[in-house]
A and B are shown apart, each in its own frame.
Chain A
Amino acid sequence: MKKLIMQSLLAAMILAPSAFGQEKPGQPDAPPAEEITQEEHYAFPTMAPEVRLFGGYRIVGSSGSGRADQYEYLHSSPVFGGEARIFSFPHRFHLDLDFKDKKDYFGDISYAYEDMVLFRGVNRTLFHNLDAVKLIDLNTATSSPGVSVRDADTRYGVRFGMSNVFLRFKTHDFPFHVYVDGTLIDRSGTQQQRSLLGSGYYNNIVRDSQSRNIDMQTKNVVVGMNSHLGPVEVDISHGEARLEVNGDKVLFDSYAASGGLAPRAAGEYPHNLLPEFKGSSNTLKLHTSYTGGIVASATFSKIERDNRDSGVQADYFIGAGEVSWTASNQIAFFLKYRHKEIDLDAPRQVTITDRTNPANSYAYPVESPIASMTDTLSAVARLRPLSGVTLLAEYAYENVRRSVSFEWSVPPSTQKNSASVSANLRIIKGLNLKTSYTHKTIEDPAYNTDPNRSDEARVALTWTPRPQITTLLSYTVLSEKRTDMHFVDAPDARRRDVNRNGLLGSITFLPLKDLSVTASYSYFDNKARQDIVYHDENGAARVDPFVPFKDMAHAYGLNVAYLPCKAVSLSASASHTIGSGTFYPADPNLTSPVSVALFSETKTRETIYSASGEYRFRNGYAVGMEYRYSDFRDVLDNPYNDLSNGRAHVVLLTFSKKW
């Protein structure tokens, strides 16, 4: 089927223009354009370079958990940056730099020479303050379950850098392009590594936490070329990808001897290995002219990915085709087809060796990985029966076929059907309504979180009664039902319902010409009820029926922007978010002597205030200030969950000059 569709699509793209590409007789022709002579009069202007530089200082104060301002490098530092635009034809140059710290900066540089050379480089970093979970031993008198904390009071954070470089060459007077697109992502810092030590069996469990050095680079380079070949545009590219891991690539720790079906001697064994990966891709893309009544495009991609440590290989093939047909101003149709194959090749066994005594080496069998083939077909019809009314109807079908061995409790195939309708209506001038409804059915879902049936509706109303006032009210509701969940040894656990609601309201008004105020409120809840399964002390599977889970959030926001005069701009914002969640088991085995829900129950409150202002002097100088205050609270102060309180202040003072 897919082959037929692919071949038909390609044949249509290659052959159809000769059959249909002729202009039909009788179509009105535009009068011949007069000879355009403005070239004699038009001179490309001399443009003075525009440069703006700034410098300043960033003052940071923080206490408690770094979660309060989790993406801010919480150390004071000088800042600098600026923007430069130089358009001295045929050269065009643009630089944008914002340096807060070597772990937190943004740079964007681009250069073009006529249309023959185009270069762009974006380099940026961010710092992520990571969680440090405190493992708690409720009874230190017993060795198992036990806790080993090797990273008490350690703060974690990782610098994340991303560099993109794009370089393109074009031939003169013909659209043939050769390009290189490269990305380098590097991550460095420390993060908490939690792992299971002891023997790893029930009678000897030790939860451990330690610090781990992270230093890894992901490199992606794509080299390609594309051109205009009459009826089709063609792009061919080859990509290479690497993940290189330095830092603590693998950890070794002492494990106790274990018995059971697979006995293992005590020793130092590896754990939490970060393997290196290598990949490549070959992609072919073709499309017809975008301006046709029928536009078709096709993509074929072959991707290989290798695990350089274990030798596991994954092959992906992606075939995709799209056809859009604009029958008239009122009606259009869109057809999409996707095909994806995943084929994994893993070794039949894996070996683990004691670092202190290589004689203690054990080989274990590995299950055959799951291979799959997915075909997805979707069709959309767009209708505009009246001015200001757009209706969309979509149907999608997905069929997943798996090559799967008995060890995996995954069905050999899954079929998904989805139908949706949506409407965009301009009810009256300034009042717009968007609605949509989607119904989905899944036959033989692979995982318990997939429903058999889901219904989702969305409505959004935008009202602009006066030019100074804009309001938005949107509501989303989702309902999912599942009646054939699968647990390995609990056939009676089958039922799951999910309900989600999302409400958003916002109003923006301009009480003065240069003053805008936006207030917003949003509410989300996620309620699930499902049979959960656990094992009793004898190892028999037990079901706690229809256990509720609920999380919810309220978020309030206020933004004000004011330009009292040409030289001054001011803004301020406040946001307050409350989130909470827990689940409610009822089975006494789960609730006595304490409920298992106690260990994960959360309620948080996050408050952020910010204010900024800038004063611009007449001679191009300006001074600015930004202030941000963040406060994160674990309202329940639950020692077992992974949340803790924190607070951060960041003040940024800048002085700038514009030429």
Chain B
Amino acid sequence: MTSSRSVLFIAITLTLAAAVSLSLAGCETLKTSKPIIPLKDYERLIAGRLDANYVGTATCLSACHYHDKIKKDFDASTMGAQLSKKSGLPTVDCESCHGPGSLAVEGLTPEKVKEDALAGKLTACDYKTLIDIRNLPAQAQSLICLKCHTGNATFNLHNWNAGSHAVNDVSCSDCHKVHVGPDLKINPREIGRMCEKCHQDIQALFALPSHHPLPENRVFCNDCHDPHGALGNHLLKRGTVKDTCILCHAEKSGPFVFEHAETMEDCSTCHSPHGSVNTRLLNVQVPFLCLQCHAGHRTSAKASAEAKGAFYTRCTDCHSQIHGSDLPSAAGRRRFTQ
């Protein structure tokens, strides 16, 4: 197992080498991030009309959108604060996402907007000249966000690009409503309802008698899954099923003196995390669950009902440390009874 150290060593060496070389190149170089290969097709989709010019947020928000909820919610959001240079934040404005707007407002005058407002109507701009965000491919929609969030502070997008949401055409705006402020963060108690719009088959499992308290809104999908991408399968928050489960069930994490072989590395060998007909989220009922891998105790047609009941009801009545134990059984063995 020494190879892990050498890989880690190589990784750190290369990172430090990169950091040193970039430091020598100066901060200006550091600030210009460039993709390995320019993504021409998608870049064109999100660049907007090349014959249009930027007119500035004031034109949008001080005129047509000055009184609507879009502006109010946006003002209250993180990116709303970024409309003002005084915030000290990197500037984000309407045209950062919607593209240059000069063609959209061509022919409109403040007087006309004011006149319409007095008449109680909105002044329509030629929005068709803006980027048609709703009809962009999902990857291009995400790219509008990612062009800034590539340097995201929480690094939660680290596994986004090859993650199953990105691969399956889920875009940022499918979950994050930019104009529905005040925060882009999703209220934890609304996450379940949001996820079930696409994952109704999973939602249905939570109706089974044994389930994690997701319908009761006491745990949330993102307690176990990271929708932004993850190391493991099923967008699990940690690299493996076990590492995810032990976030809450740490007492079952081990290592123990007596391990239940490797099965403890994958809790789903015995448990269905979303829901089950059987108690304790078990895939199948005990004792059949255990009989799948282990031979049953001694019995015969002459054995009493009492003896059969003792050995074939719940294996965990006796083997109560089934997730692992530091103590041997009475016979000094790995039986998880003590």
Contact = CB atoms under 8 A, between A and B. Distances in A.
Contacts of B258: 366
B285 A287 contact: no
A403 to B, nearest CB: 9
Nearest to A204: B330
Interface string A357-398: 000001011110111110000001010100000101000000
B38 A292 contact: yes
A315 interface: yes
B279 interface: yes
A427 interface: no
A60 interface: no
A577 B262 contact: no
Interface in B47-77: 47, 50-51, 53-59, 61-62, 75-76
A535 B32 CA distance: 71
A205 B310 contact: yes
Contact of A535 (B57, B139, B295): B295
Nearest to B293: A448
Q: Which size bracket describes the interface of B in this complex?
A: 35 or more
B296 A6 contact: no
Interface stretch (B85-93, B115-123, B126-134): B85-93
B14 to A, nearest CB: 5
B100 to A, nearest CB: 7
Contacts of A373: 1
Nearest to A98: B189
B53 A534 contact: no
B255 A313 contact: yes
Given A33-B100, A305-B254, A89 B53 contact: no
Interface stretch (A330-338, A560-568, A617-625): A330-338
Contacts of B4: 302, 317, 319, 341
Contacts of A128: 213
Contact of A39 (B85, B259, B303, B306): B85
Q: Which size bracket describes the interface of A in this complex?
A: 35 or more
Given A262-B332, A532-B296, A599-B312, A589 B33 contact: no
Question: Which residue among B35, B265, B319 has the maximum number of chain A CB atoms within 10 Å of its CB?
Answer: B35
A335 B330 contact: no
Contact of A110 (B61, B183, B302, B316): B183
Interface in B268-315: 269, 277-279, 283-288, 291-314
Interface string B174-212: 000000001101011100000000001100110111000
A153 interface: no
Interface string B90-122: 100100000010000000000000000000000
Contacts of B216: 71-72, 126
Contacts of A461: none
Question: Which residue among B38, B39, B255, B338 has the maximum number of chain A CB atoms within 10 Å of its CB?
Answer: B255
A630 to B, nearest CB: 10
Contact of A271 (B189, B213, B327): B327
Nearest to A506: B200
A417 B40 CA distance: 35
Contacts of B137: 329, 384
28 contacts: A27-B38, A87-B75, A94-B182, A94-B183, A108-B188, A114-B87, A114-B89, A115-B90, A160-B248, A218-B250, A229-B22, A230-B22, A272-B321, A289-B34, A292-B39, A297-B161, A300-B11, A312-B256, A329-B41, A335-B162, A364-B332, A447-B263, A526-B283, A534-B297, A553-B208, A575-B207, A596-B287, A602-B285
Report, nearest first, the 5 A-B pairs whose CB atoms are least far apart.
A292-B35, A200-B330, A38-B56, A317-B4, A38-B58
Given A185-B250, A350-B257, 13 more contacts: A34-B54, A42-B62, A89-B87, A120-B185, A218-B247, A277-B250, A289-B34, A317-B1, A339-B7, A364-B328, A476-B201, A520-B204, A577-B207
